[in-house]
Amino acid sequence: MPTETVSRNVLLIFNREIMYNPVIYQAVMKFGILFNILEARIWPRQEGRLVLQLEGEEKRLEQAISYLEQEKVRVEILAERIKRDLERCVHCGACTGVCKTGALDLDRRSMEVMFDPEKCVLCGQCRMACPMAAMSMASIDMDVLTAR
């Protein structure tokens, strides 16, 4: 029976002690997962942040994430950093034109804008486009450690 693959968009945060360790390579080799780099930022000698799309069998993905955490990488699921306030949203559709991943999409049957946070890469475009300030998010560089 073919195994089902799933994908997760995650934010990996490396502190200065571990930021040059090849832990992603090791996770890929150990658990046979695939990854796609969506965004990378480095604050030299302070912190590194990577947004990755991980793909693989669900159990293997969980094992890979646990492995990264054991190696002291802070792993956050990107979907948990963004919210739509349905009390504010008027389903105008302005956000769907700027959302490149399809996380915000118009359901033509109900004419409502659907939101799938699992597809979000936290680009921030919808927040700028929304006239109702319905989208809120914690950007990926929020809370960067600045201690030297």
Residues that bind ligand SF4 (CB under 6 A): 82, 84, 89-95, 98-99, 101, 103-104, 113, 120-126, 129-130, 132, 134-135
Nearer to ligand SF4, 60 or 81 (CB): 81
How far is Cα 71 from Cα 81, in angstroms, rounded to an integer? Answer: 23
User: What is the nearest approach in angstroms of ligand SF4 to the Cβ of residue 90?
Assistant: 5
Which token pair is 113? 């804008």
User: What is the nearest approach in angstroms of ligand SF4 to the Cβ of residue 74?
Assistant: 20
Which token pair is 99? 């959302």
User: What is the nearest approach in angstroms of ligand SF4 to the Cβ of residue 103?
Assistant: 4
Nearer to ligand SF4, 16 or 91 (CB): 91
User: What is the nearest approach in angstroms of ligand SF4 to the Cβ of residue 34?
Assistant: 20
Cβ 89 vs Cβ 113: under 8 Å: yes
User: What is the nearest approach in angstroms of ligand SF4 to the Cβ of residue 49?
Assistant: 16
How far is Cα 68 from Cα 62, in angstroms, rounded to an integer? Answer: 10
Distance, C-alpha 87 to centroid of its chain:
24
Q: Per DSSP, what are the bridge partners of residue 36?
A: 53
Nearer to ligand SF4, 13 or 130 (CB): 130
H or E segment at 47? strand 47-57
Which token pair is 56? 């693989």
Nearer to ligand SF4, 69 or 107 (CB): 107
Nearer to ligand SF4, 28 or 94 (CB): 94
Cβ 71 vs Cβ 23: under 8 Å: yes
